[in-house]
A and B are shown apart, each in its own frame.
Chain A
């Protein structure tokens, strides 16, 4: 069967399952007894196995199968989760990830069998959970014995699953009515082939075929669930028809990829007796089945047996039912999403931008006409248009926004591994995973963040004994906080380690010849820290494979700058350091204040503006030859925009006597006052790229088109401060 068209879906879903597995196994490590977690792991591993098998990735299937077996035993209470086991599971996850990556790049899973992992997993099974290499004896003891009953239970249940269907009074009435009309009522159970990719579609065809012959009264799972593919490999229904059981069976089996169909006359009594058995019986069967049919060595096939054989303890049943009830709750969300090519969204965004420009032209056109007479109704409509375009813009922007969760979710696992590798105890605390950022930004931010976390883990946190000696808790803490701040999203990576040793960096810089000793003397702490962002500058005393190769921070910085963001470092020597990444929330349309400087119009993002002040020229003081003003207790440096922008002076000698308009802008906790000549007003502006033919200075973040068709430049106040 050609499965190439499903490759994308397979990759997406596999990654989702792998991430889920990773999260759950982390959780399991903390709470080895949590049945919900174990069930979730089992289910994810099971789905992954099924998908890999369908796509023909045998190695991946085998490995997941063996993982599933281990979980299955844990779930049955045969043995408990142990730390050694977690390690092997994580290694297996890595191997799976490698398969998936290989598939993504070459559509082949690669040739690595990962036999060692499979052996390790099997030895866990054999040794009842003990992670012992080579042990074998006590292994199969329990297994073969219970193998028989489930087989029969399996066969039994296979035919009679429709008996588990609960019948309501209305349905009973329908059944009675059918009987009185001389029609027959059948119970039908359909098994879909395990390799079937579109189960829901097959089920639909079965339904369609049956509807030609009669009427379907009720199905289990419900028709909606079947449509949503919320069923394993089988579904049952009760069916009224004038045809014989064999004819119905034929009709069902005429649909391709249907493995087996059972049909027998339905009696209310049969269902009544079957009812109480259902919750216990059906679930284990579903699990047993794939294991039996999977192409793997014999001893493993019996693994899920105890689940089916032993009457499941109450706790377990409730655990599995709660797990299955959690699933339907999550599923519809997935089903109601549509995957859209980001280019189509870009296109939509451009059109919205055009619309906003057109709207702005309309506004300025009517403003010009205003003198001629009353055009109240036009203004009204324009206001309406404005609110519609604003909403439209927001909606389109929201579509492009995704939570950073997709990126940061892998970090706890990474820190866990680093902790083992570096032999330091550490803990990662994350907040604000639901903070949303533009899709393009989220895709790019993963690597820089990973790098900073590694840095914190490797350089930031001291070894455990040093920490204790310094009176800190033995376990180091790394924090990753994300939050929105005005038009920016801030992601902060913080640790409670030793902080940056500024003197060490200074010495290193001199040693490396990056700066001369004289220069180093005069450099401020901040300037020294900025040296860390230079290419090939690492202060780690020993090079580890975690970090310390001298590539990194410069890459981090350039990456973030390419996203129009910036990095700031706050350092408290001895107490830790925090690395603050500031990223723009959106990249396309902003609210801006239009100002006039000289004869030119400029836009300043409203998000960065704090206040606008009227300042008397004599209030400007000189501090270290720099102009500053005192505003409500803070000293704020003044930037003369006409000088910075090299605007030809318009020769206003009256300027000296006039008050200055100063726009106070902030960047983090720093402030600056920009002197402008005039304020025009607030306006929504569409940020346009200026093309690659000219290299614009950093203080210009882009251009926008005004209502009258002129181009105005947008000032990046962050670059000015």
Chain B
């Protein structure tokens, strides 16, 4: 769980800066294939190391199964498969990010790696237009930080599709 602690430290650092900036959003930057994706920190309740995922029969393949997080059974999906990338390869860096959208309803998403936390203000976020192609329909915009481009995931639309299935 030291991973989480690091992030907590970063969070604290950032929160010290917060009063000076307005309209900023914090994102956790994750690696997925060759690209970096940002997830709005307000949805994230936990980040855990890869643990045993129990397969659930007869569900779409991007639903990897269910895991136990402190006594709660949480379904876990593969963002890679969801976004049409090749199947996950579990490494030491693989993490499960636990997202909580509504009260007590959580879902885990599998990512290759959790990199850092960035704080972006609106000026550094380029919102997506209405015409999104297949891969882009889960994106809410693109953020620029330190010269890198980070695709910002629209978590609600990612999960909305899960619910529909």
Which of A's residues lie within 8 Å of B, judged by CB? Answer: 353-354, 357, 600, 644-647, 688-697, 699-700, 703, 705, 709-713
Contacts and interface: CB of A to CB of B under 8 A. Distances in A.
Contacts of B74: 691
A693 B57 contact: no
Nearest to B75: A694
Given A647-B57, A697-B59, A691 B73 contact: yes
A710 B58 CA distance: 20
Contacts of B68: 705, 709-711
A696 B56 contact: yes
Contact of A697 (B58, B66, B71, B163): B58
Nearest to B58: A697
Interface in B54-87: 54-59, 63, 65-68, 71-75, 77
Contacts of A713: 54, 56, 66
Given A694-B162, A711-B68, 6 more contacts: A357-B71, A688-B73, A690-B73, A691-B73, A691-B107, A711-B66
Contacts of B107: 691, 693
Contacts of B52: 709-711
A690 B71 contact: no
B165 A705 contact: no
B106 interface: yes
Contacts, number: 73
Contacts of A644: 57
A647 B54 CA distance: 12
B105 interface: yes
Contacts of B66: 690, 694, 703, 711, 713
- Which of A353, A689, A693, A697: most chain B Cβ within 10 A? A693
Contacts of A712: 54
A703 B54 contact: yes
B163 A700 contact: no
B159 interface: yes
A322 B5 CA distance: 73
20 contacts: A600-B54, A646-B57, A688-B72, A691-B73, A691-B75, A691-B105, A691-B106, A692-B105, A692-B163, A693-B77, A693-B159, A694-B75, A696-B56, A697-B56, A697-B58, A703-B54, A705-B68, A711-B65, A712-B54, A713-B66
Given A688-B72, A691-B74, A711 B54 contact: yes
Chain A, interface SS category: loop
A495 B73 CA distance: 44
B63 A694 contact: yes
A710 B105 contact: no
Contacts of B63: 694
A646 B163 CA distance: 22
Contacts of A647: 57
Interface in B118-165: 159, 162-163, 165
A703 B76 CA distance: 14
A645 B73 contact: no
Contact of A696 (B59, B106, B159): B59
B49 to A, nearest CB: 13
Contacts of B77: 693
Contact of A646 (B58, B72, B162): B58
A692 B102 CA distance: 11
A711 B73 contact: yes
B105 A700 contact: no
Contact of B57 (A354, A691, A697, A709): A697
Interface string B24-60: 0000000000000000000000000001101111110
Contact of B59 (A692, A695, A710): A695
A253 B55 CA distance: 75
A696 B68 CA distance: 17
A691 B67 CA distance: 11
Contacts of A357: 71
A705 B163 CA distance: 23
Contacts of A711: 52, 54, 65-68, 73
A695 B165 contact: yes
Contacts of A697: 56-59
A612 B64 CA distance: 32
Contacts of B54: 600, 703, 710-713
A711 B77 CA distance: 15
Contacts of A705: 68, 71, 73
A694 B56 contact: yes
Nearest to B165: A695
A600 B163 contact: no
A710 B159 CA distance: 24
A380 B51 CA distance: 32
Interface centre among A600, A694, A703, A705 (most CB of B within 10 A): A694
Of A354, A357, A699, A711, most buried by chain B (CB within 10 Å of CB) is A711
A354 B66 CA distance: 18
Contacts of B71: 353-354, 357, 705
A689 B58 contact: no
A693 B56 contact: no
Nearest to A696: B56
A153 B57 CA distance: 82
A693 B72 contact: no
A705 B71 CA distance: 7
Contacts of A699: 57
A700 B75 contact: no
Residue with the highest number of chain A CB atoms closer than 10 Å, among B72, B73, B74, B77: B73
A700 B56 contact: yes
Nearest to A350: B71
A696 B107 CA distance: 14
B158 to A, nearest CB: 11
Contacts of A354: 71
Contact of B55 (A600, A689, A691, A709): A600
A644 B75 CA distance: 21
A15 B72 CA distance: 39
A600 B107 CA distance: 22
Contacts of B159: 693
